[in-house]
Amino acid sequence: MDKETANKYIKILKLTPHSKQRLILESNKRFKVIVAGRRFGKSYYAALYEIIPMLLKKDKKVWIVAPTYELASRIFNEILKYINNLPNFIIYSSAKDMEIITISGSSLKGKSAKSPNSLLGEGIDLLVIDECANIPDIIYYSYLRPALSDKFGKGVFISSPKSKNWFYKLYENSLHNKTSDTDVFHFTTYDNPYIATDDILNVFKSLPESIFNEEYLACFSDSKSFFNIKSIDFTSSYRDSYKDEYIIIGIDLARKTDYTVVSALSQRTGEMIYFDRFNKIPWMSIVERIKKCTDNYRNYICYVDSTGVGDPIVEVLIENNINVESIIFTHKLKEQMVFNLSILLQNKKIKLIHEDIIAEEFENFKSFYINESIKYEGINFHDDIVMSLALACWGYKNQTSSDVLSSIIIL
């Protein structure tokens, strides 16, 4: 809307947009692409400054679309909360069906991109898509974009920058095409003055840097390297003065072509003090190689990945009086472990042995998003060194608070 209308609207509804939300509001373009960090106030902006003004008009159809039903309904309920503050505005609302009908004859529907059939049909006047980076190309091009054609509807596309899908293309194309019908905005979480900077700094310390850059600084990353190799501390030499200390050993057992990797950390100093990597040897020899490590220490624990092939080997390790804690990797646990390792590394709580093969694997360990969850991929599909250290760090005393981890994972 233009500046004058925006001022009037803000005054009548007694709103307090922050300066960056105001910039977006004052854009008159048909499409608005908003790339912004978590908690910038994207959903809040969409509800109060795009959706409500449209619903105040006569006979307008508005959709809010999100990647899943759960997310759509979370956003819908937020919107409902704001709209409920307007007395006598709603004549019908259903949280279950995600539908609101207003006194002016306009309607809002919440939709999930997971149900394409519900996205067919009617021409709409305003389409708001939240978390666009998690919505597949086909849904946007075949279902959502066409719904705006009948009525020359407006589009507000919001996301933090996870994958490079249609949303990224729209963002890039519009950045380079100044005459287009699209305005592009790029903001970080810091731009929301309602979020304390201290809070963001605390999150920075407890999140992998690559995830922080995406989620909070809203940077589309090119490299997708999960670890920042420059922020990792490497120790130059192996030391053998750790016999009496408590040692945490992480063991990633080989499956088919992979390597088995044994890594040990000192609980006291956080230094990596042992590294062994091998493949294509018989089971009993694997046990021997592990014993070669554990025999060095009086006080230790081995965290072993016992998923799949691991299980029988774990039994043999226990029979050999090796102190073992077996871990079954679920997707979520693996994600938490890699996050934990990354946070310990960037906060310099642990140091890695300086070996090319270790640095190389960390440098080439990539993360990418599939649907809403993060996936990892190592160099030539090898992630055994990273995983053995992730296992060791799982037992390390300075673990990240599980609260912080779970709050990140339920994005």
Ligand X SMILES: Nc1ncnc2c1ncn2[C@@H]1O[C@H](COP(=O)(O)OP(=O)(O)O)[C@@H](O)[C@H]1O
Tell whether residue 43 is a contact of ligand X (CB under 6 A). Answer: yes
CB 378 within 8 A of CB 224: no
| Residues making contact with Mg ion (CB under 5 A) | 42-43
Tell whether residue 134 is a contact of ligand X (CB under 6 A). Answer: no
CB 393 within 8 A of CB 386: no
Identified binder of ligand X from the candidate list 9, 31, 40, 220, rule CB under 6 A = 40
Looking at beta carbons only, is 160 or 388 nearer to ligand X? 160
Burial of 136 (C-beta count, 10 Å sphere; 0-12/13-18/19+) = middle
Looking at beta carbons only, is 74 or 255 nearer to ligand X? 74
- Segment interacting with ligand X, rule: CB under 6 A, options 42-50, 134-142, 270-278, 352-360: 42-50
Q: 3-state class of 303 per DSSP?
A: strand
Looking at beta carbons only, is 90 or 411 nearer to ligand X? 411
Which residues have a Cβ under 8 Å from the Cβ of 165 and sit 6 or more positions away? 132, 133, 135, 136, 137, 140
Shortest Cβ distance from residue 71 to Mg ion (Å)?
Answer: 9
The DSSP line for 36-78 is: E-TTSSHHHHIIIIIIHHHHHSSS-EEEEEESSHHHHHHHHHH
Looking at beta carbons only, is 43 or 163 nearer to Mg ion? 43
Tokens 């925006």 locate to 6
- In the list ligand X, Mg ion, none, the entry touching 194 (Cβ below 5 to 8 angstroms by class) is ligand X
Q: Report H helices in 275-411.
A: 283-294, 310-319, 331-346, 356-363, 384-394, 402-409
CB 300 within 8 A of CB 242: no
Looking at beta carbons only, is 40 or 227 nearer to Mg ion? 40
Q: 3-state class of 82 per DSSP?
A: helix
- In the list ligand X, Mg ion, none, the entry touching 41 (Cβ below 5 to 8 angstroms by class) is ligand X
Tell whether residue 161 is a contact of ligand X (CB under 6 A). Answer: no
Site string for ligand X, 44-73 (x = CB under 6 A): x-----------------------------
Angle 384-394/356-363 helices, nearest 10 degrees?
A: 90
- In the list Mg ion, ligand X, none, the entry touching 283 (Cβ below 5 to 8 angstroms by class) is none
Tokens 């999150």 locate to 203
Which residues have a Cβ under 8 Å from the Cβ of 364 and sit 6 or more positions away? 225, 378, 379
- In the list ligand X, Mg ion, none, the entry touching 18 (Cβ below 5 to 8 angstroms by class) is ligand X
Identified binder of ligand X from the candidate list 20, 32, 38, 109, rule CB under 6 A = 38
**Nearest residue to ligand X, by Cβ distance, number only:** 41
β-bridge pairing 126-129 and 61-66: parallel
Q: Does an H or E element contain 243, and which? A: none
Identified binder of ligand X from the candidate list 1, 10, 18, 316, rule CB under 6 A = 18
Identified binder of ligand X from the candidate list 6, 25, 31, 41, rule CB under 6 A = 41
Site string for ligand X, 194-223 (x = CB under 6 A): x-----------------------------
Would you tell me which residues interact with ligand X (CB under 6 A)? 16-18, 21, 36, 38-44, 192, 194
